Amino acid sequence: MVAARACTFVAVLILSATPTLVHAVSKDAQELMALREKRAPLECELTKLYREARAARKKGDQARVEALTKRMHVVDDKLRVDSPRVEQLIRRVRNSPDHKAILEQQVKFDKACN
């Protein structure tokens, strides 16, 4: 009885600690989700820099806009490295059963960024 409870506890612990990738069945979907997870901090940083630049533009602070734009280019260059692969994977999984899990992951990243 104790062993059965211990096994159940371990199973629940493993399932709760397993990342979202388990929900994606295909290799393409798993790869896409892993790439998006890796890229999420950079995409969030780019979004924040864009918002700051927009606010600086409204205030007329051209020097700040230029500095933020330079930082945006650096982040964008980092993202550009695997962008072709991400685009290819998106096309492959667009109408797959894994599409819902991929969208849920993106929503999670978007919420975390705000």
As a whole number of angstroms, the distance between CA 28 and CA 99 comes to: 11
Identify whether 12 is part of a domain: no
Question: How many domains in the chain?
Answer: 1
| In a domain? residue 86 | yes
Question: How confident is the prediction along the chain (114 residues), in pLDDT tens digits per residue?
Answer: 444 443 333 333 333 444 444 455 799 999 999 999 999 999 999 999 999 999 999 999 999 999 999 999 999 999 999 999 999 999 999 888 898 899 999 999 999 988
79 backbone dihedrals φ, ψ, rounded to 5°: -70, -30
pTM: 0.71
Containing structural domain, residue 79: 20-113
Whether 73 maps to a domain, the answer reads: yes
Do the Cβ atoms of 20 and 105 come closer than 8 Å? yes
Answer yes or no: is 10 within a domain: no
Specify if 11 maps to a domain.
no
Q: Would you say residue 29 lies in a domain?
A: yes
